[in-house]
Amino acid sequence: MEYIFHITILISIYGILALAQNLVMGSAGLLTIAGAAFYGIGAYTAAILATAFGFNIFTTLIIAPIVAGLIALGIGISFARFRDDYFLLATLGFLMIFNTVVRNWENVTGGSFGIAGIPKPHIFSLTFDTPFSFLVLALIVLFIVIGICYFISRSSFGRVLNAIREDEDALKIFGYKTSTYKLMVFVIGAMLSSLGGVLLASYITFIDANLFTVNESILLWAMIILGGIAKNRGALLGALLLITIPEALRFFGFPNEIAGLMRQCIYGLLLVFLMLYRPKGILGQYKL
Amino acid sequence: MKNILETKELIKSFGGVHAVDHLSVNIQEGQITGLVGPNGSGKTTLINLLSGFSLHDGGSVFFGGAERKKITPWENQIYNITRTFQQIKLFDQMSVLDNILVIITERNPFLALFERHSKYHISQAEDILKQVDLFEKRFHNAGELSYGQKKLLEIGRVLAMDTKIILFDEPFAGLFPEIIKKIENIIKALKQEGKTIVLVEHNMNIIRNLCDHLIVMDAGKLLAEGHPEKVLTERVVLEAYLGE
């Protein structure tokens, strides 16, 4: 049963990350590979505040989105002139800078040793230290994120994001300052991603830079493309499938190290297959 | 009639090519002004400059007598101007209804975040779609429409914007006579409402039928202007544009 809880916690965390990625990339069409960086910013903010300053993880669930949001605001303003593949390359550059900083800023991030001993969340006398209790917390955060994503996608703001994805130049003519919309959704996406990072840090109690590489961002891409771009349900389905399918490999008797490599192959093959035969994904109605 | 839109010595170059070359023209309020010229004469470039789709290199543009030094497209609503595109630019993977709703809902992103489209918005959008005969297609994606229907949806977006100045860039190109008639009637109705219209068009019958004033461009320059019947008989126009 604990294994089921563990998998469901991972699905919840990746569900949050996929929803955030979908908001930025699926709804607004911003090709970003910085998802893992904001996820990492959330994780490191929680880890540093909890281990070095004794903050409760619940408090970091509030502080981490603020930190990630402010960084995203700076990055978004700096990258405002970039579009499409230029924006993609710029966000890749940001992810590489983030990864290099956390690998080398040993005093703060622990460098390549990472940060261990990240506490579980606790409130009053209740500590979320069992898989079940942590699952409840992860699901609560997931449902909050789902609520935010649906709130945005059903608003006029969400419709404008879709129009930006379709034809930003045409939309501008109708009186929209699209750069503000893009900046806002980039910041909101970063804030939501950071929540996934906080949960991950507290759940596995140890983080290092290897968790927040370009592979993680590609995994998030694969999730939203598989599930269906610009669909919140699609992002959740993508997270569900891409967490459970590789786990299933364990039952085919693959050793852990082979299963890990197979997982990367599966993500890559799925992306190629989907681009060829189902660019809109399983539940999607849109293609990039 | 007063000038609502005016260019003075307007310049736009692409590399060494002067697409708009020291062009000075006046657009009068409440009139339909035709804009004609051979391919590459700078008509669409002029529309792009007036709508902020591209920035001018020199000269001045005046809206209602006030100069707009830098024309940014997101200020078009403030300056009461909108346009259609020669090559249709719809939001293809959004419904026909959403293509209109996005025009009539909140522009401010913070307010838009908390705005849900209301019955009022739906009713307004549906009324516009009825005017352009697309009500039945309102739940279809814009990309699924036929070419003529796409042109009509572009016109619908213009109606939704409800601005004083409308720039139509070849709205009749490639259309069946039935749809041409429909769009002609819409443009006439817009004029009746007091709108100022600039119409880029190659069909001289349509120009004669609709326009109060005609501007002829060639190689980015003003070749002739005046009443269509008079301008279209000028030797310089016949030679340069009609090849007669």
DSSP A5-21: HHHHHHHHHHHHHHHHH
Residue B105 phi, psi dihedral angles, 5° rounding:
-100, 180
Does residue A257 form part of some domain? no
Query: A27-36, A62-71, A242-251, B107-116: which range is least confident on average?
Result: A242-251
Among the listed residues A29, A15, A54, the one whose alpha carbon sits nearest the alpha carbon of residue A185: A29
What fold does the segment set B3-86+164-175+195-242 form as a domain? Answer: Rossmann fold (3.40.50)
Q: Read off the pLDDT band of B241 (50, 70, 90).
A: low
| CB-based contacts of A44, cutoff 8 Å, min separation 6 | A102, A109, A115, A197, A201, A207
Considering the domain boundaries, does residue A282 fall inside one?
no
How much is the pLDDT for B243?
61
pLDDT confidence bin for B65, thresholds 50/70/90: confident
Among B94, B97, B159, the strongest candidate for a mutation testing the A interface, having the largest count of A CBs within 10 A, is B94
Q: Which residue has the tokens 């109060």?
A: B212
Are A9 and A177 a contacting pair, CB within 8 Å?
no
Highest-scoring range by mean pLDDT, A235-239, B39-43, B115-119: A235-239
> Cα(B120)–Cα(B129) distance, rounded to whole angstroms?
14
Type of residue numbered A121: P
Q: Report pLDDT digits (tens) over B163-214.
A: 999 999 999 998 999 999 999 999 999 999 999 999 999 888 999 999 999 9
What are the boundaries of each domain within chain B?
3-86+164-175+195-242
- In 3-state terms, what secondary structure has residue B222? strand
Produce one character per residue of B24-49: b if its CB has 16 or more CB atoms within 10 Å, e if not.
ebbbbebbbbbbbbbeebbbbbbbbb
ipTM of the complex: 0.91
Of A273 and B185, the structure prediction assigns the larger pLDDT to B185
More confident residue, B62 or A245: B62
B3 vs B25, residue with greater confidence: B25
How far does CA B213 lie from the centroid of its chain?
15
Determine, for residues A167 and B93 on separate chains, whether the beta-carbon distance falls below 8 Å. no
The Cα A101–Cα A65 span in angstroms is 19
Run of H or E including B35: strand B32-36
For residue B159, give the chain A residue with the closest CA.
Answer: A174
User: A164-221 pLDDT, tens per residue?
Assistant: 999 999 999 999 999 999 999 999 999 999 999 999 999 999 999 999 999 899 999 9
* Per-position b or e across A202-213, b if 16+ CB within 10 A of its CB: bbebebbbebbb
Residue in chain A lying closest to B51 (CA):
A173
pLDDT at residue A263, as a whole number: 75
Model confidence pLDDT, tens digit, residues A67-81: 999 999 999 999 988
Q: For residue A135, give every residue at least 6 positions away whose Cβ sits within 8 Å of its Cβ, in sequence order, or none.
A: A5, A8, A9, A12
> Cβ A155–B92 below 8 Å, yes or no?
no
Judge whether A98 lies within some domain: yes
- For residue A267, being part of any structural domain is answered with no
Count how many domains chain A has. 1
Q: What pLDDT is stored for residue B242 in this prediction? A: 57
Yes or no, beta carbons of B91 and A166 under 8 Å apart: yes
pLDDT at A47 over 80: yes
* Tokens encoding A285: 């109605």
Tell me which residue of A224, A252, A249 sits closest to A238, measured CA to CA: A224
Q: Which residue has the higher pLDDT, A127 or B84?
A: B84
> Min CA distance, A42 vs chain B (Å)?
24
Q: Are B90 and B153 in contact (CB under 8 A)?
A: yes
Work out the average pLDDT over B216-224.
89
Report the gap between the CA of B81 and the closest CA in chain A (Å).
9
- Classify residue A223: in a domain, yes or no: no
Q: What 3-state DSSP class applies to B107? A: coil
Residues of B with CB under 8 A from a CB of A: 51-53, 73-78, 82-83, 85, 89-94, 98, 101-103, 105-107, 109, 112-117, 157, 161
Distance CA A270, CA A279 (A): 11
Residue A284, min C-alpha distance to chain B (Å): 11
The torsion angles phi and psi of A48, rounded to 5 degrees, stand at: -65, -45
Domain that holds residue A162: 2-212
CA A63 to chain centre: 17
Q: Is the pLDDT of residue A128 over 90?
A: no
- The answer to whether A180 and B100 are in contact (CB under 8 A) is no
pLDDT of B31: 94
Q: Is the pLDDT of residue B50 over 70?
A: yes
Question: Could you tell me the pLDDT band of residue A281, with boundaries at 50, 70 and 90?
Answer: confident
Stretch A39-62: mean pLDDT, rounded?
95
Structure tokens at B16: 């060494």
DSSP characters over chain A: -HHHHHHHHHHHHHHHHHHHHIIIIIIT------HHHHHHHHHHHHHHHHHHS---HHHHHHHHHHHHHHHHHHHHHHTTT--HHHHHHHHHHHHHHHHHHHHH-HHHH-GGG-EE-PPPPEETTEE--SHHHHHHHHHHHHHHHHHHHHHHHTSHHHHHHHHHHHHHHHHHHTT--HHHHHHHHHHHHHHHHHHHHHHHHHHHSEE-GGGSSHHHHHHHHHHHHHH-TT-HHHHHHHHHHHHHHHHHHHTTT--HHHHHHHHHHHHHHHHHHHHHH-TTTTT-S---
Arithmetic mean of pLDDT, B109-136: 94
Question: For strand B165-169 and strand B81-83, is the pairing parallel, antiparallel, or unpaired?
Answer: parallel
Q: Which uninterrupted H or E stretch holds B111?
A: helix B109-113
Taking only Cα atoms into account, the Rg of chain A, rounded to an integer number of angstroms, comes to 18
Task: Report pLDDT for A198.
Answer: 97
Mutate to test the interface with A, among B74, B100, B104 (most CBs of A within 10 A): B74
One-letter identity of residue A201:
A
